[in-house]
Amino acid sequence: MASLIKVTLKRSFSGADPKQVATVRGLGLTKLGNTAILKDTAPIRGMIIKVQHMLDVERFDGDESLRDSARTRKSRTAQAQA
């Protein structure tokens, strides 16, 4: 299992540079208090570092299936049953 990071938006976009807003949205965060579970990769880490003053970051030791879409879960279930 790959390591995961839990990222929460703790500061608003008000007064933020448009590039920072785009970076935060690229992380999947749209509103204050939103949380996203992301894979711990170099590009994601770089994005987090650029807007670290707006985020709350913590390590997440959960099941990676939380990141999967409903379609992915459905296909995995079908493969497991076959």
Q: What is the CATH number of the domain that holds 58?
A: 3.30.1390.20
pLDDT tens figures, 42-81: 999 999 999 999 999 999 886 655 555 566 667 777 777 7
Alpha-carbon distance 60 to 78, whole Å?
A: 27
Give 52-63 pLDDT, tens digit per residue. 999 999 998 866
Q: Which domain holds residue 39?
A: 4-81
Domains of the chain: total:
1
Phi, psi dihedrals of residue 29, rounded to the nearest 5°: -110, 125
Cβ contact 24:70 at 8 Å: no
- What's the pTM value of the predicted model, to 2 decimals? 0.72
Which run of H or E residues covers position 59? strand 55-60
Strand partners for 8: 35, 56
Q: Can you name the residues that pair with 6 across neighbouring β-strands?
A: 37, 58
Per-residue pLDDT, averaged over 23-41, amounts to 94
